Structure 1
Amino acid sequence: MLFSVEAENGNLEGLRKQDLSDLGFLERQNLQEWAIEQPQILGEDLLIITSEYANFEDTRDRLDILALDQAGKLVVVELKRDRADRTTDLQAIKYASYCATLTAEDVQKDYREFWSSREDTELTPESVGETFIDFIGEPDSLTTSSDGWAEFELDQKPRIVLAAGSFGTEITAPVMWLIEEYGVDITCRRIEAYEHQGRVLLNSQQVIPVAEAEEYMTKRREKQEKQQQRSRRPAAINALLERKVLRPGERVRFDPERVPGNANQDWNEDDDFWWATVTGDTGQSDNVRWDHDDELYSFTGLTKEVLHELVGRDRDEALNGYKYWCHPDFDNRTLSDLRNSETTGADRGDEPTSNK
């Protein structure tokens, strides 16, 4: 139960829980829209891929919301405005089985289609790929394909989130059994509504698994994520250094073709603003030293800084920095191109030019 306290006199008032249906709210037009616009109502930061998803072969079923969590796992979300009915868990399991066959490129295409239509714009594969890389949180570890899509692995076990006004034993009993006996990753969240002074207050609370079980499951997920991270391709900087495409002390240049048309200065080969020196380090922000200010950055961090100075671009916007820097010793190919190829240091030009 929620309580309201008047600041002036300290009077306490209990607020009675109400069904969303009694307050005139609808499942799709309201609850679903709230979850799309504010995924935190589901208890965590999620990247919403699509809603009313129906790209399942030989079925007309529609998934309420498909999302991605920051560990790079798909999340199947099933919403019920009031009490979850007895088939809610089965619906979600069915949708999870359908989504288990999706690839990273599949979900990015679905994201592009959904958000392009929703925001009445045309997202490019490159902008979508950068959004996914930035959300997963490994901008210098993940790369993009030649088409612009982010390259990462999706496992075959999507998570399930059930969100409803209440849950009966016909849902809680099988969910707990699936969690405890088979390790299925299912979360039940109760979304309660309270009317107070002309506003409706929402309280989102996780009811399954309980806190003690969640701690255990979190540790197990962390172990699985670490195992998955070890199986991923090495970070771009590591791969380029290991293959001796990059060597400590040599210089790379900003791609002239990537300079924005409205930049406040022109590209000039003799200007240190457009050059950076490789450090040989592989931390998160010490891979390259900008010749312009002698400060250390990651390639992505440096690119964001360059574009911010050129056109005031928001430093928080996603991008793949390796696409913006060229290596003079490899016919000025971008570092992204070199990372995604089989190129090694043995393929350098006869006359190195990057250490000028």
Structure 2
Amino acid sequence: MLKVDRTKRILKRLDEPSLTEAQILERADLQEYIYNSSNDFFTEIGERVFIIGEEVTPSQTVQDRIDLLGIDSEGASVVVELKRGSNKLQMLQAVSYAGMVARWGLEDFRSLVSADLWEELTDFLDVDVEELNRRQRLLLVAEGYDYTLLTGAEWLNEQYGVDIRCFTVNLATDQTTGAEYLACTSVFPPPALADQAAARHRARRDHGPLKWGDWNEVLATIENEALRNFAREEIDAGRENYLRKRGIHFRLDGKSRWTLHCRIKHAYVWQRGRFLDDLSFWKTRLSDSDAVKPVKAGRALALKLLTQSDFDAFRKSVTVDAEHKAWSETGAFVNTADNEAETE
């Protein structure tokens, strides 16, 4: 990796120690860095993965642990295996874990996360949560790869359609500032082939039949009368919606700001973006103020609607009260109230 020196008009090569030389441990350091910064890491390598756990037991019959277990936006489970240096058995581990995870049911995944995180996952998915784990993917991360591992990955991918991705991570350090950088590179498939593989998966993706034939069937499952009436009124009025996920969208200035997800006993709302003092704004309007929480590192809010007054307040807020608010997509309006909410 090269450092740009604009003053001297030169490029300077940074030091590139191994993770071992830099005293970065595999589990205590590398794994924690990725787990705590999963959105940034997976965006960097071109993946959309929602991490649901680390050191996950794939089966009660073994003592092994999956380094990181995630779900991609299409509902496939993603087994992430990390290695400091290289290890030819890394892929064998991941294949074994994927085989065990393939036997999991929906409740096995739900048991790993809190109710709030499960709601976040539901919103993250591009498919209905019922389609979770129809496919399994392997994502390997290491400093390097043995030739036999890469040829084995190619064979499994081409002959049997196993979705395997291999990425290298390499450390670079700036001795002048002490800053450390992690460079991530796709090794298999090569970048151009990876784009083609992703396109093929999207083209042949089959979401399966809808669980509900229409909104009348969805409404018939809702026990909360206030929610049922609210949803019917919005659907009848032509409000934008997504039947597969029982979602109703509310736009502001052309942008989808709120999505209301219908559940059996309540509605779960996801607010995209933040406005000043929005935490207190919602807490003073909704009956379950404890359920108003910042999510996505403060870039969004989660709300819960239970009562008739909740639905009345929500409708007035998104159509009138919030109309002239200044919005931030980056969490710029995060304040003390957010920090308090996240530590409760």
Q: Give the Cα separation in 1 of the matches to 2:235 and 2:28.
A: 53
CA separation of 1:319 and 1:135: change in aligned 2, threshold 3 A: farther
What's the CA shift for 1:106? 0.9
What's the CA shift for 1:253? 4.1
Amino acid at match of 2:216: L
**In the TM superposition, what whole-angstrom CA distance separates every residue of 1:301-331 from its partner, at most 9, and x where no partner exists?**
995679974427459334576x6669xxxxx
CA separation of 1:3 and 1:275: change in aligned 2, threshold 3 A: closer
Amino acid at match of 2:283: V
Contact preservation (8 Å) 1:277, 1:289: no
Q: Which of these residues, 199, 207, 217, is aligned with residue 219 of structure 1? A: 199
Q: Which of these residues, 122, 127, 131, is aligned with residue 120 of structure 2? A: 131
Q: Give the Cα separation in 1 of the matches to 2:215 and 2:53.
A: 35
Q: Residue 231 of structure 1 aligns to a residue in which SS?
A: coil
Contact preservation (8 Å) 1:103, 1:153: no
Q: Give the Cα separation in 2 of the matches to 1:5 and 1:214.
A: 30
**In the TM superposition, what whole-angstrom CA distance separates every residue of 1:222-280 from its partner, at most 9, and x where no partner exists?**
1343x12x42424xxx633367869xxxxx8469xxxxxxxxxxxxxxxxxx9983343
Task: Tell me which of the two structures has the higher relative contact order, counting C-alpha pairs closer than 8 angstroms and 6 or more residues apart.
Answer: 1
Map 1:79-90 → 2, pairs under 5 A: 79-83=82-86, 85-90=87-92
RMSD value over aligned CA atoms? Answer: 3.6
What's the CA shift for 1:41? 2.4
Larger CA Rg, structure 1 vs 2: 1
Q: Residue 89 of structure 1 aligns to a residue in which SS?
A: helix
Q: Residue 134 of structure 1 aligns to a residue in which SS?
A: helix
What's the CA shift for 1:27? 0.2
CA separation of 1:180 and 1:324: change in aligned 2, threshold 3 A: farther
**2:233 is equivalent to residue 277 of structure 1:** yes
Task: Please identify, of 2-11 and 129-138, the stretch whose mean Cα deviation from structure 2 is larger.
Answer: 129-138
Structure-2 residue corresponding to 1:23? 22
Unaligned runs of 5+ in 1: 113-124, 143-150, 247-251, 256-273, 291-295, 327-356
Contact preservation (8 Å) 1:253, 1:276: no
Unaligned runs of 5+ in 2: 252-256, 262-266, 272-277, 285-291, 310-344
Contact preservation (8 Å) 1:130, 1:320: no
Q: Give the Cα separation in 2 of the matches to 1:275 and 1:51.
A: 37
Contact preservation (8 Å) 1:5, 1:13: yes
CA separation of 1:162 and 1:277: change in aligned 2, threshold 3 A: same
Amino acid at match of 1:233: K
Number of equivalent positions: 266
Q: Residue 70 of structure 2 aligns to a residue in which SS?
A: strand
CA separation of 1:223 and 1:137: change in aligned 2, threshold 3 A: closer
Q: Residue 60 of structure 1 aligns to a residue in which SS?
A: coil
Q: Give the Cα separation in 2 of the matches to 1:193 and 1:275.
A: 52
**2:187 is equivalent to residue 207 of structure 1:** yes
Structure-2 residue corresponding to 1:97? 99
**In the TM superposition, what whole-angstrom CA distance separates every residue of 1:276-315 from its partner, at most 9, and x where no partner exists?**
833433633895899xxxxx97544995679974427459
Q: Residue 8 of structure 1 aligns to a residue in which SS?
A: coil
Q: Give the Cα separation in 1 of the matches to 2:28 and 2:260.
A: 42
Structure-1 residue corresponding to 2:52? 49
Map 1:263-302 → 2, pairs under 5 A: 277-280=233-236, 281=238, 283-284=240-241, 299-300=260-261
Amino acid at match of 1:96: A
Q: Give the Cα separation in 2 of the matches to 1:128 and 1:244.
A: 25
CA separation of 1:254 and 1:52: change in aligned 2, threshold 3 A: closer
Q: Give the Cα separation in 1 of the matches to 2:4 and 2:250.
A: 55
Q: What is the TM-score with the length of structure 1 in the denominator?
A: 0.64
CA separation of 1:161 and 1:55: change in aligned 2, threshold 3 A: closer
**In the TM superposition, what whole-angstrom CA distance separates every residue of 1:152-196 from its partner, at most 9, and x where no partner exists?**
222443100000001120211101111111111000000011111
Structure-1 residue corresponding to 2:135? 157
What's the CA shift for 1:220? 2.0
Contact preservation (8 Å) 2:269, 2:302: no
Map 1:303-322 → 2, pairs under 5 A: 309-311=281-283, 313=292, 316-318=300-302
**2:65 is equivalent to residue 62 of structure 1:** yes
What's the CA shift for 1:35? 1.2
CA separation of 1:317 and 1:233: change in aligned 2, threshold 3 A: farther
Contact preservation (8 Å) 2:137, 2:163: yes
Contact preservation (8 Å) 1:161, 1:188: yes
